Amino acid sequence: MASSDGLPVAGFRLAAVSAGIKVPGRLDLVLMELAQDSTVAGVFTRNAFCAAPVQVARQHLAATIPRYLLVNTGNANAGTGGAGLADARRCCEAVAESVGVAVEQVLPFSTGVIGEPLPVDKIQAGIAAVCAVLGEENWAAAAEGILTTDTRPKLASRHLELDDQRVTLTGMAKGAGMLRPNMATMLAYVATDAAIAQPLLNILWTQAVEISFNRITVDGDTSTNDAAILVATGQAAAAPITDEGDPRCAVFAAALQELVLELAQGLVRDGEGASKFVAVKVGGGSSEQECLQVAYTIAHSPLVKTALFASDPNWGRLLAAIGRAGIADLDVDKVDVLINGVLIAESGCRAASYTEEQGVAAMAPSDIHIEIRLRRGDARATVWTSDLSYDYVRINAEYRT
């Protein structure tokens, strides 16, 4: 069963309050509490200029099992040097002192403007308030509390059966710009009450991230603050899953991948200024990496993205992007291009059956499927992206004002 209402997960409590970090009255401080003996998997940005909270969270996750996740919006605490690291640790200390755990059992996360000092005093002042309202039912508030330029929360849930016992999965994510994760997304948190052994949880999370958060792009930029966390509290009645060979593992993995794909696609649909949700499907490649290379070249092309915004079937821009994707020995005479099922280019040229009227009709919907057939192998891959609009420029031009 699927739900977008944020089903509670046993052993996982969360809350959101307003700490006045950037905008007074806006939910901007989120705390999540993990049951004792939960297992936790995390992936983080590959940007070399990773933010202070990313560095601290990595260190703490490597040192012990986390009990609390602290998120602030309005300030990225990135590009802040040693002072930023100290500030991230001070926030962890405030949580640890308030709830009585080791500092290393708190993972910090931040998102917002880069290069500004973290307002630690405001975050410290909000800790008591957020601790006081922790509850399993607070997913909707937390999903709102992690947003920045997003226009709406991204929240998804699933029920599934393991050993005839109900297991729950719920997750939330944020990110609308500076979004080409190359690991996960700007911020994503998924929790389940299933019991999953730590090594297996790491494998399942890496696999899920790879086919979802690692397949989306809004603008080709990888944030300094990206993080994605999976928590398994073990509070469900189903017996623990410890081995990939366990038949239940495949059932759980499928539900997890379905959920994170929904979240990832939700991020693209809410991309800054986006009016189009675009799936770029590349097939017939000699390898998956080759297909991804073509798909990302199309998805990152400003000329393609502006044509999408204009609903203009300017298929020459697609051919140009394919041609510069860097595919060795590409036979352009074998390439086909389809938009929403309409064959536009065939064997590297305008299809004999194609008319401009067909192209205009194909580009009109808000959901666009671009299919590229390379006809040089059996590999395939899909990337999801959005168009490039006037609003994207305005939002990012005015981000700090």
The residue-averaged pLDDT of 209-238 equals 87
Question: What mean pLDDT do residues 245-257 have?
Answer: 97
pLDDT recorded at residue 185: 42
Q: What's the pLDDT at 69?
A: 98
Q: Helix (H, G, I), strand (E, B), or coil: what is residue 30?
A: strand
User: Within a 10 A sphere around the Cβ of 348, how many other Cβ atoms?
Assistant: 16
Taking 80 as the threshold, does the pLDDT of residue 265 lie above it?
A: yes
The SS3 assignment for 281 reads strand
Number of Cβ within 10 Å of residue 71's Cβ equals: 24
What does the pLDDT look like over 20-49, one tens digit per residue?
998 899 999 999 999 999 999 999 988 888
Q: In this structure, what is the dihedral angle of CA atoms 284, 288, 289, 294, given to the nearest 10 degrees? A: 40
How would CATH label the architecture of 277-397? Roll (3.10)
Tens digit of each residue's pLDDT (9 = 90 or more) over 326-373: 999 999 999 999 999 999 999 999 999 999 999 999 999 999 999 999
Instruction: Tell me how crowded residue 46 is: count the other CB atoms within 10 A of its CB.
Output: 12
CA distance 156 to 133: 22
Q: Encode pLDDT of 180-192 as tens digits.
A: 555 434 699 999 9
Q: For residue 369, how many other CB atoms are within 10 A of its CB? A: 16
* Topology match between the domains 2-269 and 277-397: no
Read off the pTM: 0.89
What's the burial of 337, exposed, middle or buried (CB within 10 Å: 0-12/13-18/19+)? buried
pLDDT band at 218, cuts 50/70/90? confident
pLDDT higher than 90, residue 214: no
pLDDT digits (tens, 9 = 90+) for 65-118: 999 999 999 999 999 999 999 999 999 999 999 999 999 999 999 998 889 999
DSSP at 35? -
- With 0-12 CB in 10 A as exposed, 13-18 as middle and 19+ as buried, what is 356? exposed
Which residue intervals of 165-228 are DSSP H helices? 198-210
203: Cβ–Cβ under 8 A, 6 or more apart, which residues? 244
The active-site residue out of 149, 185, 192, 224 is: 185
What fold does the segment set 2-269 form as a domain? L-amino peptidase D-ALA esterase/amidase (3.60.70)
For the chain, which residues make up each domain, given as ranges? 2-269, 277-397
DSSP helix/strand/coil, 343? strand
Which tokens hold the place of 227? 């993080």
- Is 185 annotated in the active site? yes
